[in-house]
Chains A and B, each alone.
Chain A
Amino acid sequence: AQSVAQPEDQVNVAEGNPLTVKCTYSVSGNPYLFWYVQYPNRGLQFLLKYITGDNLVKGSYGFEAEFNKSQTSFHLKKPSALVSDSALYFCAVTPGNTPLVFGKGTRLSVIA
C-alpha cells in the first residue's frame, strides 16, 4: 500500500527567504505525486503534480517541486516566501490505479 510522510508538522520561514516543505513517499511502481494547499476554512487547492518527465515541476503561485526517485522524495519549494503563503500543505501519492493517499500535512508560517 502506498504511504506519504511529511516529517515536519510546522515550518517557519521569514518573508523573502526560500522555503522547503518535505515529502517522502512509498508506492509500488511509478508514482503520481501531488501537492495541495489548504487555507483556513477553505477546501484544498491543487498546486502541482508529477506524473512523468522533467523531475522539476512548476506549479501555481511560484511553487515548484523536485521529484527524486532514488530518495523517494517530492519536496515543495519556493525561492522567496510571502506572508500569504502561510497555510497547510499536503503531499499526496498514488500508483495511478488507486485513490490518492495524503500526508498528515505541514503548516507553513511565513513571518514578516
Chain B
Amino acid sequence: DSGVTQTPKHLITATGQRVTLRCSPRSGDLSVYWYQQSLDQGLQFLIQYYNGEERAKGNILERFSAQQFPDLHSELNLSSLELGDSALYFCASSALGLEGYEQYFGPGTRLTVT
C-alpha cells in the first residue's frame, strides 16, 4: 500500500458528462501529480500541484482541470467527456516538488465513457 488513495475505483459515464476524480496524497507529501494511462498512449503526465499551486502542466486537455486544496488532497475534473477519454487515471505524490524524489502512486480510477 503506497499510502495514496484515489476514489472512486471505477467510473462509468456517458459522453458529454462531467466527472471528478479525487486523490489524497501520502501523509506529509506536498506534491501531487495526475497521469492518464491508456493502451495506445502509455502513461501521460497531465498536471502537477505543489502545496496548492500548479507546478507543471503536461498533455492536459482544456476540458480537464485540477486543483489542490489546503488539506493537500487533489481533484481532477474531466468535462464534455469523449469516448477517447476512457483510461486509467493515476494520482501520485512525492515529498517535495523536486523531481529527484520518487513518486508514490495510488491504485487508479478506471474511467469508462460510453
Contacts and interface: CB of A to CB of B under 8 A. Distances in A.
Co-assembled chains A and B: yes
Interface of A: 32, 34, 36, 41-46, 49, 51, 90, 94-105
Contacts of A103: 42
Interface residues of B, number: 21
B106 interface: yes
Interface stretch (B12-20, B63-71, B73-81, B94-102): B94-102
B42 A99 contact: no
A100 B103 contact: yes
Contacts, number: 55
A99 B105 contact: no
A43 B108 contact: yes
A105 B43 CA distance: 9
B100 A46 contact: no
Contacts of A41: 107
